[in-house]
């Protein structure tokens, strides 16, 4: 079952960017969206909404490879840190729960 949640997607509004890529991040919560970070599946095929991060538009473009080239290891570290931060916020908001 694929997790698609309008509440999780909407929760990104006004949040700080969890990626904060140096020299890229615009630190503007007004541009933050829920950026899916699972395996590259194409633009219209996204991973679960639970495997996504709060990202400003600039960092989102960077991890999608649109605005800069980043080696896989560096990208993976930014994404892993951001997933941990975003999931902690989703837990705090009650948008994901552990049984």
Question: Mind telling me the catalytic residues?
Answer: 36
CA distance 6 to 26: 25
Q: Measuring CA to CA, which residue among 21, 4, 83 is closest to residue 57?
A: 21
- For residues 20 and 58, is the Cβ–Cβ distance under 8 A? no
DSSP H or E stretch at residue 33 = strand 33-36
How many CA atoms are closer than 13 Å to the CA of 97, on its beta-carbon side? 2
């Amino acid at each position: 079952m694929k997790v698609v949640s309008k509440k999780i997607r909407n929760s990104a509004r006004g949040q700080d960017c969890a990626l904060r890529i140096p020299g890229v991040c615009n630190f503007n919560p007004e541009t933050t969206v829920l950026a899916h970070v699972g395996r590259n599946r194409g633009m219209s095929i996204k991973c679960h909404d639970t495997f996504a991060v709060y990202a400003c538009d600039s960092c989102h473009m960077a991890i999608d490879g649109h605005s800069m080239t980043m080696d896989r290891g560096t990208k993976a570290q930014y994404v892993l840190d951001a997933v941990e931060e975003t999931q902690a916020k989703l837990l705090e908001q009650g948008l994901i729960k552990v049984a």
